[in-house]
Amino acid sequence: LRKYFHLVLWVCNNGSWLASQDVIHCHLTYSSFLGTLVKLWQRIFKNRRPFVVETYHAVGMSIPRWLRWFHARLISSKDGVVFMAKDPYWSRFLSEHPSLKSKTIPNGISFFESEKVGLNAREAYRKTLGIPVDCKFVLGTVGMLRPDREPWRYLPIFSEVAKVFGSEVHFVIAGGGTEKEFNHMRSLVQEYDLEGKVHMPGLVTDSKLPCSIMDLYITLNIGAITGIAAL
């Protein structure tokens, strides 16, 4: 509760900066509460910006009724909401709030709708990354390079694999991130003597392409929960 109280103070102290933004995206309860405070600030000071949109992933989950009610009250204050599924409660909620812009974007990828990556495209992508033609194995992963995900943990794993397979293996860590995190990863590549073997192409808009050249996909669990994207 103290955190929520401090959030009220933070919005009061940063209201002008928040009002200069075009869009604020909210996810999870704490962030949703922030978004509601921003909308309240807008009404008090007659600001037109920002547009506040929330993504909501608890559709159909077994959460307490009071919490779901609280979530609904927070969402009702927003300009837009994105759901990852449909259920009777939230369908009724949307019918009761026709002015709330909404969209359902299901989690995951439909493999039946995904086009396979052709041989020429795979070979071209390997060449772009600098993976030699005679490299037999490619290990890799796709994900955001964020400190909380601890992507640096891949490097000691890759180092052990490289000791066994030598020049026959290369590694791909695809995904965007901050320049600070990229520099940290590059320094670890040097530290583990993996220069020329680890390829970090940056932001990926279509994960099929990097995944299509991997012989083994790996992911990390930071905590007890496996990310749904990896599954």
* Helix, strand counts (H, E) of the chain: 9, 8
Packed helices 29-45 and 2-13: angle between N→C axes, nearest 10 degrees: 40
Helix (H) or strand (E) holding 215: none
Q: What pLDDT, on a 0 to 100 scale, did the predictor assign at position 147?
A: 85
Q: Is residue 88 predicted with pLDDT exceeding 60? A: yes
Which of 108, 172, 177 has the alpha carbon at shortest distance from 137? 172
Residue whose C-alpha is closest to residue 54's, from 90, 95, 10: 90
What is the rounded distance in angstroms from the CA atom of residue 129 to the CA atom of residue 191?
Answer: 21
Give the model's pLDDT for residue 113.
54
Rg (CA), the chain: 22
| 112 DSSP 8-state letter | T
Would you state the structure tokens that stand for residue 51, as one six-digit string? Answer: 């547009």
Residue with tokens 């071209």: 124
Ramachandran assignment for 65, one of left (phi > 0), alpha (psi -120 to 50 degrees), beta (any other):
alpha
Pick from 59, 58, 2, 61: nearest CA to 29 = 58
Tokens of 15: 């209201």
pLDDT tens, 189-214? 999 999 999 999 999 888 889 999 99
Q: What span, in angstroms and rounded, lies between the C-alpha atoms of 29 and 7? A: 12
Per the CB < 8 A criterion, the answer to whether 208 and 175 are in contact is: no
pLDDT(179) > 90: no
**Residues above pLDDT 90, as percent of the chain:** 70
Q: What is the pLDDT of residue 148?
A: 80
Phi, psi of 173 (to 5 degrees): -120, 95
- Prediction pTM value: 0.62
Report cis status (omega within 30 of 0) of the bond before 50. Answer: yes
